[in-house]
Amino acid sequence: MTRRRGPSTPAAARPAAAQERPDAATARPRAGAAGEAWRWLHRNLFSTWYNALLTVVGLAAVCGAASRVGRWALTAADWRVVTNNLTLLLVGPYPRDQLWRVGLAVLVTAALAGLTAAAAGGGRSGVLMRRAPALAWLLAPLAVLWLVHGDGAVLDVVRTDRWGGLLLTLMLAAVGIVVSFPFGVALALGRQSTLPVVRAVSTACIEVVRGVPLVTVLFSTQIMLTLFLPEGLRPDRVLRAMAGLVVFSAAYVAENVRGGLQSVPQGQIEAAAALGLNGAQTTFLIVLPQALRAVVPSLVGQFISLFKDTSLVTIVGLQELLGIANSVLANPDYLGRYAEMYAFAGLVYWLFCYGMSRAGRRVEQRLGLGRR
Amino acid sequence: MTGERQAARDPAGGPAGCGVNDPIIVCEDVHKWFGSFHVLRGVTLTVRRGEKVVIVGPSGSGKSTFIRTLNALEPYQRGRIVVDGIELTSDLHNIERVRSEVGMVFQQFNLFPHLTVLDNITLAPIWVRKRPRREAEELAMQLLERVGIPEQAHKYPGQLSGGQQQRVAIARALAMEPRIMLFDEPTSALDPEMIKEVLEVMVELAQTGMTMLVVTHEIGFARQVADRVLLFDEGVIVEEGPPDQFFNHPQHERTRRFLAQIL
């Protein structure tokens, strides 16, 4: 079950891609850049008459579509539906006098990303440079939560029903990803356990959740958590939605990780055992590092899916990016401005998904080191 | 952990038996089944401290399975195995004690691909023996010198040749300072030109007085270092003897046929 729905390439680009034949063997060095370009065109786009035809038709289609979209975006479209509501779309009903906190949270996140990139790129690996990112990764999420939510003492509490728009989307996705990962790994290990009870419980959890749509999980956590938990401990709606996303995502993480666990050869486990490592040491030092490395691509794909799936929380009444977009569209002032609004929302989703995709590639490349 | 290690050694190192000729491995009538397949059909073998035993035999004869029972990688169903004074039962504690006393080298090397050569070697000393990292790394570098590839310490296994990988695997096993080394066809997965470099390391190790059990088809190695050669067939030891007698004057028809095939 692969759930990789990466950022899709525009359909119009397909015909041109279909006839690409990168054929390095026929490449001949030639004096002059123009000659080189001509040869490249000939080889890749006009090698036969039907390839030439496809190229011309494909190019015409792409240009036609692009010019229509461009003309619409620049002339017919009325972007005020987005620009007038930009703050609303980004943070929803978050108190306007507290917006600086969100800004600061964004800065913290950007600093974390910068630090990670610097640590990953830099050849020098002093103790500080190796330890700093790990520490930052532990502290930054807490700092962001504290900034956005507040504690009632230093920062006023902003209750989660004031969270909305892109802010809510990102908080849901981040919590969903970060929390579901350890649970998913635990479930995957549980499913491989030699203890029948642990194995049965893990398998049941995974299969039940995987057998129902996310909407069902979201509804169940909205309704059932309030039924089962004691009166005083009634989590708010956002927390319940987060729980639903975590439960759903953990089951899929577990199945991905299980695939990785199975890809670790038996010989690795035997070698660890022969050295006297115990079961826990074998799992955490030998098996899991190799298993997780193997599943980074599918995990990234899955987390991208989860990010997009956060849009489903509108169904349980939360106003994340798409929810806010829909309520703006319901305003008579912006009647019929669907195209502009959804183009904007789509662009925002795409930016984040593409970013995650790129980050995933970087992680893969970094981890690929040991496999060479 | 150090305390347990000491405890593990006491039975053999105590006054009861300290000499060079004391048995370090005792197997009595060991039987093993894979499902309904009877792999080991009553193996009885005593190995003395410092002895080098080479085990040969056709594939499927149970020779690999047998040496894998000696560090409990394979459980056995009947009989008794005592390694360095510790009886191998299903007791996990005993099994871990035996495993940290017995080094093993596999046909497929089984190095950990996500760790550097140095980390492969220091892993068990650090986590099982609880040695300080610096000390474990010093020992690892000494061992890499000994197997002749100190310059590869910071590479990953995948960047090494097969022969180099197997030498790292030997160093990794030696880093636990085992009293017994088991070799399960250590050169069978190697290209011919790399076999020699691994055998040289093994010969050198034999000269240090290590107790070694080696499953191999390298007759030259067996003649050079073995104190005893065993022929395994259909789950039993068919013939055993010093290499000279085993290869030149085999007693059993089965041994003659086997030697005719491999020589």
How many angstroms separate the CA of residue A367 from the nearest CA in chain B? 9
- Closest residue to B114, CB basis, from A276, A277, A293: A293
Distances (CA, A) of A352 to A136, A361, B27: 21, 14, 64
- Rounded CA-CA distance A333/A83 in Å is 13
- Rounded CA-CA distance B252/A356 in Å is 69
Q: What is the pTM of this model?
A: 0.80
Distances (CA, A) of B7 to A169, A231, B130: 59, 56, 16
Determine the average pLDDT of the residues in A175-202.
93
- Rounded CA-CA distance B182/B213 in Å is 5
Tokens of B67: 């040496």
Residue of B nearest to A285 (CA): B123
**A-B C-beta contacts closer than 8 Å:** 66
Instruction: Assess if residue A12 is contained within a domain.
Output: no
Contact residues, chain B, for A265 at CB < 8 Å: 110
CB atoms under 10 Å from CB of A35, counted, come to 11
Distances (CA, A) of B24 to B13, B63, B83, B230: 10, 19, 6, 17
Q: Are B95 and B88 in contact (CB under 8 A)?
A: yes
Residues A187 and A280 in one domain: yes
- Please report the pLDDT score of residue A23 as a whole number: 46
Q: Do B156 and A277 touch (CB under 8 A)?
A: no
Q: A127: pLDDT confidence band, cut at 50, 70 and 90?
A: low
Express each pLDDT in B167-186 by its tens digit: 999 999 999 999 999 999 99
Express each pLDDT in A278-324 by its tens digit: 989 999 999 999 999 899 999 999 999 999 999 999 888 889 999 99
Q: Taking all residues of chain A, what is their mean pLDDT, rounded to a whole number? A: 85
Determine the average pLDDT of the residues in B125-152.
94
Residues A204 and A225 in one domain: yes
- Rounded CA-CA distance A323/A166 in Å is 10
Q: A369: pLDDT confidence band, cut at 50, 70 and 90?
A: low
Residues A174 and A232 in one domain: yes
Q: Give the SS3 label for residue A343.
A: helix
Tokens of A293: 């490395």
| Number of independent structural domains in chain A | 2
CB distance from B141 to chain A under 8 Å?
A: no
Distances (CA, A) of A265 to A132, A262, A286, B237: 33, 7, 11, 31
Domain boundary among A41, A76, A111: A76
CB distance from B245 to chain A under 8 Å?
A: no
DSSP A191-238: HH-SSHHHHHHHHHHHHHHHTS-HHHHHHHHHHHHHHHS-TT----HH
Q: Do B113 and A370 touch (CB under 8 A)?
A: yes
Tokens of B50: 């410092």
CB atoms under 10 Å from CB of A259, counted, come to 16
- Closest residue to A276, CB basis, from B99, B114, B159: B99
Residues A89 and A63 in one domain: no
CB distance from B213 to chain A under 8 Å?
A: no
How many angstroms separate the CA of residue A214 from the nearest CA in chain B? 36
Q: Do A270 and B100 touch (CB under 8 A)?
A: no
Distances (CA, A) of B105 to A240, B59, B68, B88, B172: 53, 18, 11, 20, 9
Residue of B nearest to A367 (CA): B114
* Model confidence at A58: pLDDT above 90: yes
Q: A185: pLDDT confidence band, cut at 50, 70 and 90?
A: very high
Strands, E, within chain B: which ranges?
23-34, 37-48, 52-56, 78-83, 86-87, 102-105, 180-184, 211-215, 228-233, 236-241
Determine the average pLDDT of the residues in B59-85.
92
Q: B19: pLDDT confidence band, cut at 50, 70 and 90?
A: low
Q: Taking all residues of chain B, what is their mean pLDDT, rounded to a whole number? A: 89
Place of tokens 């115990």: A278
Residues A62 and A195 in one domain: no
Q: Are B176 and B105 in contact (CB under 8 A)?
A: no
Q: Are B248 and B242 in contact (CB under 8 A)?
A: no
Q: Give the SS3 label for residue A22.
A: coil
Q: Do A274 and B173 touch (CB under 8 A)?
A: yes
Instruction: Assess if residue A150 is contained within a domain.
Output: no
- Rounded CA-CA distance A301/A299 in Å is 5
- Please report the pLDDT score of residue A113 as a whole number: 86
Q: A115: pLDDT confidence band, cut at 50, 70 and 90?
A: confident
Q: Is B150 exposed, middle or buried (0-12, 13-18, 19+ CB in 10 A)?
A: middle
CB atoms under 10 Å from CB of A289, counted, come to 18
Q: Are B238 and B55 in contact (CB under 8 A)?
A: no
- Please report the pLDDT score of residue A128 as a whole number: 59
The whole domain housing A43 covers: 24-76
Residues A64 and A90 in one domain: no
Instruction: Assess if residue A152 is contained within a domain.
Output: no
Q: Are B24 and B179 in contact (CB under 8 A)?
A: yes
Amino acid found at B156: Y
Residues A71 and A194 in one domain: no
Q: Give the SS3 label for residue B134.
A: helix
- Please report the pLDDT score of residue A31 as a whole number: 56
Determine the average pLDDT of the residues in A193-204.
93
- Rounded CA-CA distance A152/A135 in Å is 26
Q: Mind spelling out the 3-state secondary structure of A57-111?
A: HHHHHHHHHHHHHHHHHHHHCCCHHHHCCHHHHHHCCCCHHHHHHHHHHHHHHHH
Half-sphere exposure of B98 (CA within 13 A, CB side): 24
Residues A56 and A90 in one domain: no
Q: Do B127 and A268 touch (CB under 8 A)?
A: no
CB distance from B159 to chain A under 8 Å?
A: yes
Contact residues, chain B, for A372 at CB < 8 Å: 156, 158-159
Q: Do A290 and B103 touch (CB under 8 A)?
A: no
Residues A44 and A193 in one domain: no
Element (H, E) at A48: none
Closest CA to B221 of B247, B202, B248: B202
* Model confidence at A137: pLDDT above 90: no
How many angstroms separate the CA of residue B16 from the nearest CA in chain A? 27
How many angstroms separate the CA of residue B160 from the nearest CA in chain A? 10
Express each pLDDT in A3-57 by its tens digit: 444 444 444 444 444 444 444 444 445 457 788 888 888 888 888 888 889 989 9
Residue of B nearest to A277 (CA): B128
Instruction: Assess if residue A153 is contained within a domain.
Output: no
Residues A262 and A355 in one domain: yes
Express each pLDDT in B129-139 by its tens digit: 999 999 999 99
Q: Do A274 and B111 touch (CB under 8 A)?
A: no
Tokens of A186: 């635990």
Instruction: Assess if residue A122 is contained within a domain.
Output: no
Residue B213 contacts by C-beta under 8 Å, 6 or more apart in sequence? B25, B47, B53, B55, B67, B70, B180, B181, B182, B183
- Please report the pLDDT score of residue A129 as a whole number: 60
* A365-370, Cβ contacts within 8 angstroms, sequence gap of 24 or more: A366/A120, A367/A293, A367/A296, A369/B156, A370/A293, A370/B113, A370/B114, A370/B115, A370/B156, A370/B158
Q: Are B112 and B37 in contact (CB under 8 A)?
A: no
Residues A90 and A55 in one domain: no
CB distance from B2 to chain A under 8 Å?
A: no
* Model confidence at A239: pLDDT above 60: yes
Q: What is the CATH number of the domain that holds A298?
A: 1.10.3720.10
- Please report the pLDDT score of residue B93 as a whole number: 86
Residues A219 and A72 in one domain: no
| In chain A, % of residues over pLDDT 70 | 87
Express each pLDDT in B200-243 by its tens digit: 999 999 999 999 999 999 999 999 999 999 999 999 999 999 99
- Please report the pLDDT score of residue B13 as a whole number: 40
CB distance from B189 to chain A under 8 Å?
A: no
Q: Do A281 and B102 touch (CB under 8 A)?
A: no
Instruction: Assess if residue A67 is contained within a domain.
Output: yes
CB distance from B133 to chain A under 8 Å?
A: no
Bridge partners, residue B228, by sequence: B53
- Please report the pLDDT score of residue A20 as a whole number: 45
Q: Is B3 exposed, middle or buried (0-12, 13-18, 19+ CB in 10 A)?
A: exposed
Instruction: Assess if residue A313 is contained within a domain.
Output: yes
Q: Do A293 and B100 touch (CB under 8 A)?
A: no
ipTM of the complex: 0.88
| In chain B, % of residues over pLDDT 90 | 83
- Please report the pLDDT score of residue A126 as a whole number: 56
Residue of A nearest to B106 (CA): A271
Q: Do A285 and B127 touch (CB under 8 A)?
A: yes
Instruction: Assess if residue A111 is contained within a domain.
Output: no
Pairing of strands B180-184, B211-215: parallel
CB distance from B108 to chain A under 8 Å?
A: yes
How many angstroms separate the CA of residue B110 from the nearest CA in chain A? 6
- Closest residue to A271, CB basis, from B106, B128, B156: B106
Closest CA to A353 of A301, A304, A320, A309: A304
- Please report the pLDDT score of residue B21 as a whole number: 67
Determine the average pLDDT of the residues in B85-103.
89
- Rounded CA-CA distance A62/A258 in Å is 42
Contact residues, chain B, for A281 at CB < 8 Å: 127-128
Contact residues, chain B, for A276 at CB < 8 Å: 96, 99-100, 124, 128, 176
Probe site for chain A from B110, B177, B185 (most A CB atoms < 10 A): B110
* Model confidence at B18: pLDDT above 70: no
Determine the average pLDDT of the residues in A74-99.
89
Q: Do B106 and A270 touch (CB under 8 A)?
A: yes
Q: Are B198 and B185 in contact (CB under 8 A)?
A: no
Express each pLDDT in A319-362 by its tens digit: 999 999 999 999 888 888 898 999 999 999 999 999 999 988 88
